[in-house]
Amino acid sequence: MFRIFTVLVFAVITLISGCSNDESVISKEWKETGTVELTTTNDEGKQIKADWLGDEGRIAISNNPFVAGQTQKYMWLLWGNKDEIVNKPLKVIATSETGEELTIVESILGGENWGATAASPSGFSLPTKGLWKLNAFVGEKLHGTLIVNVNEA
């Protein structure tokens, strides 16, 4: 009887620990960030519209494709108190579905662009396909988070 109980306890522990080590568990609640249409006026006075990934009024990034291992150029847009974000450091930390973490952007935020309070160009790549969480920090404070889907090359 004791052996049966011991085997059952071991089986349950193995089953529970096997489930908790599932690499995709970290992203089960992640949902890809949607798009927002922004409008700006060019030098000739013509209005230009474009879709951006993000949340207007908080944070957005240019809607360029995300392809694993391929560096692309992206423009970051942040809204907020000008004194708190313009000319301040921007740091973006990316986390994959499996928990891999890397810093992909370290720059200084410039002034207005596309109606946002501050903007910064960047170039980066994400190494693997799947969902990635991009946490954007201004100084040490989390300003916003985007979830992007990286496609296979």
Measured between alpha carbons, how far is 106 from 111 in angstroms, rounded to an integer? 16
Q: Which CATH class is domain 32-150?
A: mainly beta
Hey, which residues does 60 pair with through a beta bridge? 54, 77
Reduced to 3 states (helix: H, G, I; strand: E, B; else coil), residue 56 is coil
Tens-binned pLDDT, residue by residue, of the chain (153 aa): 545 444 444 443 433 344 444 444 455 689 999 999 999 999 999 999 999 999 999 999 999 999 999 999 999 999 999 999 999 999 999 999 999 999 999 999 999 999 999 999 999 999 999 999 999 999 999 999 999 999 998
Q: H/E/C letters for each residue in 29-85? A: CCCCCCEEEEEEECCCCCEEEEEEEEECCCEEEECCCCECCCCEEEEEEECCCHHHH
Q: Which two tokens stand for residue 135?
A: 């946490």
- pTM across the whole model: 0.81
Q: Where are the domains of the chain?
A: 32-150
